[in-house]
């Protein structure tokens, strides 16, 4: 039998590794890394290597189903696509007619092939209410902040050919994750030139062990650390004076502002010795070119915008902007996705949940406005400020990935209509009225520009196989738009992709499929051609946009609402600082735990505890341990290690147990979001709530309970 080899891109996470799909007849037989791809050079991680196990997993959803009993009862009836689409369309039209389009909400998960299509369908339908956890808690706070500060989103120059002399890893361990085109492989390759490494992380990661300076900060104190480093660089005149004078706005105001934020001031807040803060600041400022690798750890507290602002100013004042081996702006080889937001009237945009408060999430300060999740959940539960009656979830296990899972569960149960599209039954799909079988990435056509926003590399994703009756999320949206006779959003998937690529680089989708990927030549110092895309034409250290929106124009320090310093009364009963969210190299957030090879490599949820903390509590390595906060209690298996501060506990997120019976599938046993908070106060610009740096206590699980 003849083997057909298709060039594509792995989307088992959102890294974007180039792959070759081997197809014999109608079966996918092999997935290998594409040696030509600039993002992975032929290598695949454990997740990508098990693609066949994902595609042909016996538990895959293969046809639509309708709930046959009470919600969450686990009784289902197989239906046709025609029946499923007809029922969804009819019920959405009824809700829209009786309550308005804003009573329908769209939900999705991490940003892969379908994410922009979720908001596109919502806008076509006429609702402003779509959401994704990352828009307030991961990545998009950085995007929106950088657009205000720089006029564009900077990424690391991994593919330009100039090795960095210094790399600072701030709240990010890319060797275990590698998101958005900055894959774990090009992050690993960047170490070949032996750069000076600075790591900001409460855990002693592999990178921290290699670091010249490891700053083991208290979780949630990143803003204090960044401000202290700015203080050192400015006070010791280590900044790039020429670049700052010509290309930044508000340096003198920043210099005066950070004078009080000395390393000695920061030491008791961050737990990092003042001498180490000075050493890191000097090393970073005096070693060029330098990259800044940052992650979502800085976006998990209710002061994330100002934290991001402070951290982003380190590359800015040292001149590491749009230079070889530093932070670079993208070539934008992929045209802007047609979100159809123009289909919403100003009045409907104003109804977006959170729009009255969070300009950088829900309004003009957002690259793509989204609804505020806690406000959306309240509208589901209480009908305040108006009722939300329907929720359509695509590619997201909401009960495991939204903060405060018990409240999320309560909110979902109040809905008139819950539709979920997924690859497998999950605790979330078990609550749905209609479940739709989604296609996995080798089963659909798409295009991706990576790194995300920058689009320095364009990769074609192409359909290689058909499993059961599965459809891509994109195809589902087009089918619903046509069925509902919507005025927009009815073009075929391929038409949208073709137009988007042509706007960016002039290629057509079919041409890109043949090439596999396209990499526009990278140009540096693009700001010299017309300045930065900000109101002043410069990097805005003093932000005129934030000032206009009513927010602080200069970054400042603010303690998280629940911490040893801000809530000492809580700390008496919950004395340990809880951090969570570190990536597991065998899973992607809540995904892939039913893949046997991956589960064998990491079978249990792990909590990291220092020996000095574990010993008085009788906790030994591999014991099951209770972790408790004000919100609830879960258990995970202990890893007793001196690679974490005795005052800190780290737990893994995304855990549920597909092998356990439905409808719960063990969602309440080890799920980190049982412990997290989505309560106010929120970031005043972004609506972000506290997922890290919370307070907890631990105890050994007795054998019977374990």
Q: In the chain, where are the structural domains located? A: 3-55, 154-328, 568-700
Q: Can you tell me the distance from the alpha carbon of 560 to that of 571, in angstroms, rounded to the nearest whole number? A: 13
265-281 in b/e form (b: 16+ CB < 10 A) is bbbebbbbebebbbbbb
Span 683-698, average pLDDT: 97
Instruction: Identify the residue whose tokens are 């196989």.
Output: 465
Give me the mean pLDDT over the 174-195 stretch: 86
pLDDT for 706 beyond 70: no
Average confidence (pLDDT) over 648-665: 97
How many whole angstroms separate alpha carbon 129 and alpha carbon 122?
7
Under DSSP, the state recorded for 472 is -
The Cα–Cα gap between 551 and 572 comes to: 34
Residue range 423-452: mean pLDDT, rounded: 96
Q: Say if CB 539 and CB 532 are below 8 A apart.
A: yes
pLDDT recorded at residue 182: 79
Instruction: Give the pLDDT score at 675.
Output: 98
pLDDT band (50, 70, 90) for residue 15? confident
- What does the pLDDT read at residue 179? 81
What digits encode the pLDDT tens for the residues 122-141?
Answer: 999 999 999 998 889 999 99
Mean pLDDT, the chain, as a whole number? 96
Are 315 and 293 in contact by the 8 Å Cβ rule? The answer is no
Inform me whether the pLDDT recorded for 181 exceeds 90: no
Q: Is the pLDDT of residue 570 over 70?
A: yes
Q: 104 is written with which tokens?
A: 């329908």
**What pLDDT is stored for residue 704 in this prediction?**
57
Is a pLDDT exceeding 90 seen at residue 344?
A: yes
Per-residue pLDDT band for 445 (boundaries 50, 70, 90) equals very high
Q: Kindly report, residue by residue over 489-544, the tens digit of the pLDDT.
A: 999 999 999 999 999 999 999 999 999 999 999 999 999 999 999 999 999 999 99
- Alpha-carbon distance of 633 to 237, in angstroms, equals 49
Spell out where 254-395 has E strands. 290-294, 327-328, 390-394
Given a cut of 70, whether residue 565 has pLDDT beyond it is yes
**Tokens representing residue 232 in the block:** 């050192």
Q: Using pLDDT thresholds of 50, 70 and 90, give the confidence band for residue 556.
A: very high
Instruction: Give Cβ neighbours of residue 410 (< 8 Å, ≥ 6 apart).
Output: 381
Distance CA 388, CA 372 (A): 13
Domain 3-55, what fold?
N-terminal domain of TfIIb (2.20.25)
Q: How many CB atoms lie within 10 A of CB 252?
A: 10
d(CA 33, CA 341): 37
Residues 190-196: contacts with CB within 8 Å, 24+ apart?
Answer: 190/156, 190/158, 190/163, 190/164, 190/291, 191/167, 192/163, 193/163, 193/164, 193/165, 195/163, 195/164, 195/165, 195/166, 195/167, 196/165, 196/166, 196/167, 196/283, 196/287
Least reliable range by pLDDT among 151-165, 175-189, 232-246, 335-349: 175-189
Query: What is the distance between the alpha carbons of residues 123 and 107, in angstroms, rounded to a whole number?
Result: 13
Mean pLDDT of the 145-154 span = 98
**pLDDT at 340 (0 to 100):** 98
Task: Choose the CATH number for 154-328 among 3.50.50.60, 1.10.30.50, 3.40.228.10, 3.40.50.300.
Answer: 3.40.228.10
pLDDT at 19: 97
The predicted model gives 209-237 an average pLDDT of 98
According to the CATH classification, is domain 568-700 in 2.40.40.20? yes
pLDDT at 407 (0 to 100): 97
Average pLDDT over residues 368-377: 98
69-118 pLDDT, tens per residue?
Answer: 998 888 999 999 999 999 999 999 999 999 999 999 999 987 788 999 99
What local confidence, expressed as pLDDT, does residue 214 receive? 98
**pLDDT tens-digit map of 260-271:** 999 999 999 999
Please tell me the predicted confidence (pLDDT) of residue 388.
98
């Amino acid at each position: 039998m003849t083997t057909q080899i298709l060039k594509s891109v792995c989307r088992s996470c959102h890294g974007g590794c180039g792959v070759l799909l081997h197809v014999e007849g109608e079966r996918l037989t092999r997935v290998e890394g594409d040696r030509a791809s600039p993002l992975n050079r032929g290598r695949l991680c454990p997740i990508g290597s098990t693609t066949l196990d994902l595609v042909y997993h016996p538990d895959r959803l293969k046809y639509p189903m309708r709930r046959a009993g009470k919600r969450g009862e686990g009784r289902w009836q197989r239906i046709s696509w025609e029946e499923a689409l007809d029922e969804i369309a009819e019920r959405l039209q009824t809700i829209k007619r009786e309550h308005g389009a804003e009573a329908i909400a769209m939900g999705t998960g991490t940003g892969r092939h379908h994410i922009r299509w979720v908001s596109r369908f919502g806008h076509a339908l006429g609702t402003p209410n779509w959401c994704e956890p990352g828009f307030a808690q991961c990545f998009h706070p950085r995007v929106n902040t950088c657009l205000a500060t720089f006029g564009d989103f900077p990424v690391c120059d991994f593919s330009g050919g100039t090795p960095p002399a210094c790399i600072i890893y701030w709240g990010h361990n890319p060797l275990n994750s590698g998101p958005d085109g900055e894959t774990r492989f090009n992050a690993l390759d960047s170490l070949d030139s032996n750069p000076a490494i600075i790591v900001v992380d409460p855990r002693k990661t592999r990178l921290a062990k290699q670091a010249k300076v490891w700053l083991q900060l208290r979780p949630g104190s990143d803003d204090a650390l960044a401000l202290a480093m700015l203080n050192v660089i400015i006070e010791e005149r280590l900044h790039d004076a020429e670049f700052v004078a010509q290309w930044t706005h508000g340096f003198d105001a920043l210099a005066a502002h950070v004078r009080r934020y000395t390393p000695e001031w920061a030491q008791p807040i961050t737990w990092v010795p003042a001498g180490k803060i000075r050493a890191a600041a000097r090393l970073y400022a005096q070693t060029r070119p330098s990259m800044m690798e940052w992650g979502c750890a800085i976006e998990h507290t209710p002061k994330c915008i100002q934290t991001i602002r402070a951290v982003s100013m380190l590359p800015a004042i040292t001149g590491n902007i749009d230079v070889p081996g530093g932070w670079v702006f993208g070539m934008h080889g992929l045209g802007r996705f047609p979100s159809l937001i123009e289909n919403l009237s100003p009045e409907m945009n104003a109804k977006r949940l959170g729009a009255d408060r969070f300009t950088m999430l829900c309004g003009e300060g957002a690259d793509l406005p989204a609804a505020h999740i806690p406000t959306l959940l309240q509208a589901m539960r209480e009908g305040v400020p108006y009722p939300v009656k329907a929720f359509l979830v695509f590619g997201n296990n909401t009960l495991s990935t939204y903060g405060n899972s018990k409240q999320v569960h309560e909110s979902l149960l109040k809905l008139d209509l819950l539709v979920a599209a997924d690859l497998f039954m999950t605790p979330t799909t078990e609550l749905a009225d209609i479940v739709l079988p989604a296609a996995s990435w080798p089963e659909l056509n798409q295009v991706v520009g990576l790194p995300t926003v920058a689009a320095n590399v364009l990769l074609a994703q192409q359909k290689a196989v058909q499993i059961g009756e599965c459809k891509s999320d994109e195809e589902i949206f087009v089918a619903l738009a046509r069925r509902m006779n919507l005025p927009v959003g009815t073009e075929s998937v391929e038409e949208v992709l073709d137009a988007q690529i042509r706007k960016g680089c002039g290629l057509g989708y079919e041409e890109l499929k043949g090439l596999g990927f396209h990499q526009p030549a990278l140009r540096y110092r693009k700001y010299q051609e017309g300045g930065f895309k900000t109101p002043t034409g410069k990097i805005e250290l003093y932000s005129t946009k934030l000032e206009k929106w009513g927010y602080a124009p200069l970054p400042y320090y603010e303690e998280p609402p629940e911490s040893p310093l801000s809530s000492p009364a809580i700390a008496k009963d919950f004395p340990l600082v809880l951090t969570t969210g570190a990536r597991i190299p065998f899973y992607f957030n809540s995904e892939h735990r039913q893949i046997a090879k991956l589960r064998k490599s990491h079978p249990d949820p792990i909590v990291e505890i220092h020996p000095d903390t574990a010993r008085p509590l009788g906790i030994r390595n591999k014991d099951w341990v209770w972790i408790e906060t004000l919100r609830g209690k879960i258990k995970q298996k202990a890893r007793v290690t001196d690679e974490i501060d005795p005052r800190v506990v780290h737990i893994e997120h995304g855990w549920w147990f597909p092998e356990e019976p439905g409808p719960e599938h063990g969602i309440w046993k080890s799920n980190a979001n049982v412990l997290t908070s989505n309560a106010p106060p929120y970031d005043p610009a972004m609506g972000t709530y506290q997922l890290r740096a919370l307070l907890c206590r631990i105890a050994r699980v007795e054998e019977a309970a374990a």
